[in-house]
Structure 1
Amino acid sequence: MSATPPKNWFKPTVWAALVWNLLGVIAFIIQMMMTPEMISKLPLDQQAAYSNIPIWSTIAFAIAVLGGTLGCLFLLAKNSLAAPTFTLSLGAILIQQYYNFVVINSIELLGASAVFMPIFVIIIAVALLYLSIKAKQQGWLQ
């Protein structure tokens, strides 16, 4: 397939997605830096959730945000590794959300509002995976 130039919206969209994913990296760093004193100031239910996060959920969080960030960088570099990287990131997001919704039942801990951000994260991850696949099909990536 011959390469066609990306549409005008492609780069601004990917830059916005990169900022989004960098915010995820910041959220991960903040979670990793939470001290017992910081956790003790949270409501009791949330204290239990933050004090006992299993390593597999933490690893999934790291893979999710770093994978999303790297996937965006691959898109900006027009590299076809974007799609497999976004696939890995999405898989990690789903593992992390399993912990949040099944293991600790975050809806019970935090209320129905705890559903909106995770759903938004999943929608964006799926959209970025779709974009990377379409970009490859359009010849925007090599």
Structure 2
Amino acid sequence: MNDETVARVHWSFWAISAFALIWNVLGSLNYLSQMNPDLVASLPETHRAIIEGRPAWATGGFAIAVFGGALGGLLLLLRKSVAIYLFIASLLGTIVTMIHTVAIASSTIDFSILEIVIMILMPLLVVAFLIWYSKLTESKGWIS
């Protein structure tokens, strides 16, 4: 990268990179808040069922998804192409977490369509977009 490349980065790069970081920091805060038993007790039954019944492998996937994504967002802002690999790790962590969430969703707990979209589809779509976008920015020379 040289000074000319810095000037050619579109403003949307900064907006999307900031979104990536904020989205994943919020996910990281969500993960950390789920370690507080009092807070978990105050959640709706459907959310408590997911958190309280989550096995260690799904919790590990959740941690990889959100902390990997947060680091990926930070590195994307710093214009480092290693962000791509962290977003891929985040996708894999998200998929692992969703295996458990879908298993719970198909059990006796009745999830609304909105809950399914927010808890399952949205995280998958966001991380898939971030992988695609970070690869696009690498091909444009915006990150290296």
**TM norm structure 1:** 0.85
1:27 maps to which residue?
30
Alpha-carbon separation, structure 2, partners of 1:47 and 1:132: 34
Alpha-carbon separation, structure 2, partners of 1:49 and 1:97: 10
CA contact (8 A) 2:76 2:143 kept: yes
1:105 maps to which residue?
105
Q: CA deviation at 1:49?
A: 3.6
Percent identical residues: 28
Number of positions where the alignment pairs a residue of Structure 1 with one of Structure 2: 139
2:131 maps to which residue?
129
CA contact (8 A) 2:40 2:48 kept: no
Q: Deviations over 1:9-52 (max 9, x none)?
A: 110221122111111011101111224x8538753x65544323
Alpha-carbon separation, structure 2, partners of 1:81 and 1:123: 20
* Distance change in 2, residues 1:124/1:38 (3 Å): closer
- Corresponding residue to 2:19 among 16, 21, 24: 16
Unaligned 5+ runs, structure 1: none
Alpha-carbon separation, structure 1, partners of 2:99 and 2:40: 25
2:125 is aligned with 1:115 = no
Q: CA deviation at 1:121?
A: 1.1
Equivalent AA in structure 2 for residue 130 of structure 1: W
**TM norm structure 2:** 0.84
2:141 maps to which residue?
139
* Structure 2 residue matching 1:9: 3-state secondary structure: helix
* Distance change in 2, residues 1:106/1:62 (3 Å): farther
Q: CA deviation at 1:114?
A: 2.2
2:59 is aligned with 1:58 = yes
Q: CA deviation at 1:131?
A: 0.8
1:79 maps to which residue?
80
* Structure 1 residue matching 2:35: 3-state secondary structure: helix
Q: Deviations over 1:66-95 (max 9, x none)?
A: 111111111111111011110010011011
